[in-house]
Amino acid sequence: MAAAGGPVPTCVLGIDLGTTSVKAALVTGTERGLALAQSCSRETQAYSDSLGAAPQGMEQDVQKIIKALNECLAALPQQQLQRVTHIGVTGQMHGVVFWKSDKGCKWSESGPGPAFEAEQVSPLITWRDGRCSPSFLASLPLPQSHVSLATGFGCATVYWYLKNRLKKSGFPVHLLPEVGDPGSIAGRTTCAWHGIPKGAKVGIALGDFQCSVYSCLTERTDAVLNFSTSAQLTISMPSGFQPPEAPDPSSALTYFPYFNGDYLAVAASLNGGNVLATFVGMVAQWAQELGFQVEESAIYPRIIQAALAQNPSKLSVHPTLFGERHLPELLASVSGIGASELSLGHVTRALCCGLVENLCSMLPVQQLEEMGVRRILGSGSALARNEVLRQEVERIFPFPVVYGKDVDAAVGAAMVMFHSK
């Protein structure tokens, strides 16, 4: 739907700095609406093996993330990049990165054109960081919010650093960014960048989850199911809804602020494609220990093919390898093990079923029906490449399931910039 109230920008760039990859999407606007012109993604391979005194830490190399971003933009058509007037930025939520004032990045001329590089910055401590134990979180001041504090949240990580590495003082409020309206402008590009003209308007940072939902959610009777690194199931709350003033740490449901003053009811699981990736890694390690060298990229399609040949069985996998924010100490388990159901196909099928059932337990079907849900919009890389996971979604949820072609955060960030004009 085209924006009202002024001329539509010619071309908007959406950038999604994700957990495992970076994506850039060019969205063009006409009087009849919006269209995805080009997109490109690159895996960052940014996770760091050196975590020092934080064995539960999850850190990423910022330079590798920026390198992947520059590679994405270099792969997009220069002719269309030259028409970009606005840039929407989104990325993995909750994590935190520190940089020295005025020295966070620098411009480099080493490539075919100007590109910025990370300079004096810390590692990115991601949303998957586990160094803040439940006892440590319990020692922190209660948040003035309806959202409970969890390990991996940037504010909790800052407190952890204050206790373990920095001077003992109160929370450094001056480090927090100013909160603005989605679509408002944070600044302008200071020089040409991969063909993008100098002076292109850059929007304030947006949450990747909200941007993903924005790219596809058009009806309040739709629920959005996303399976990528993690997994989320969400529904738009009625207009005017206000969340409770205090958080409920035991609740699996969280209310996320959305656009135009609305809220989303979200079951946000920490277990999604990352569990499948861990399972594939385990199979590869077993094969290596038996003297066989098998690439993980070859294992994934084979286990999916094996699972497609199997029907659901009594084998049950509770796949909470990474716990859940409302149950951080919850571990994975397997039950219903029978001698005839131990094939790789059986286990893979049960694992995919368990991932969907875990999310469904956080936001049950009955509650979805009471909230008026009539359709499920499926999205995310794990869902797109895994037919077994899609079959389990369609078996467990009693709603029609529609898979979105262009459902992603980069497209949503670009759409927000269009519609804000």
Mean pLDDT value across the chain: 88
Domain ranges of the chain: 11-208+410-419, 218-403
Task: Give the C-alpha separation, 413 to 139, whole Å.
Answer: 36
The 3-state DSSP class for residue 261 equals helix
- Of the chain, the end-to-end C-alpha distance in Å amounts to 13
Asked whether the domain spanning 218-403 has the same topology as the one spanning 11-208+410-419, the reply is yes
Please check the confidence at residue 141 and state whether its pLDDT lies above 60. yes
pLDDT digits (tens, 9 = 90+) for 47-73: 876 444 456 888 999 999 999 999 999
* Higher pLDDT among residues 113 and 149, named by residue: 149
pLDDT digits (tens, 9 = 90+) for 74-94: 999 988 999 999 999 998 888
CATH homologous superfamily of domain 218-403? ATPase, nucleotide binding domain (3.30.420.40)
Band (pLDDT 50/70/90 cuts) for residue 405 is: low
Task: Give the C-alpha separation, 86 to 27, whole Å.
Answer: 10
Q: Look up residue 80 and give its two tokens.
A: 């269309």
Task: Give the C-alpha separation, 240 to 261, whole Å.
Answer: 8
Instruction: Select 11-208+410-419's CATH number: 3.40.50.20, 3.40.50.12780, 3.30.420.40, 3.40.50.300.
Output: 3.30.420.40
Q: What pLDDT is stored for residue 31 in this prediction?
A: 66
pLDDT digits (tens, 9 = 90+) for 224-260: 998 988 999 999 999 999 998 888 888 999 999 999 8
**DSSP 8-state symbol, 230:** S
Residue 416 near residue 258 (C-beta atoms within 8 A)? no
Please check the confidence at residue 145 and state whether its pLDDT lies above 90. no
Q: What pLDDT is stored for residue 111 in this prediction?
A: 64
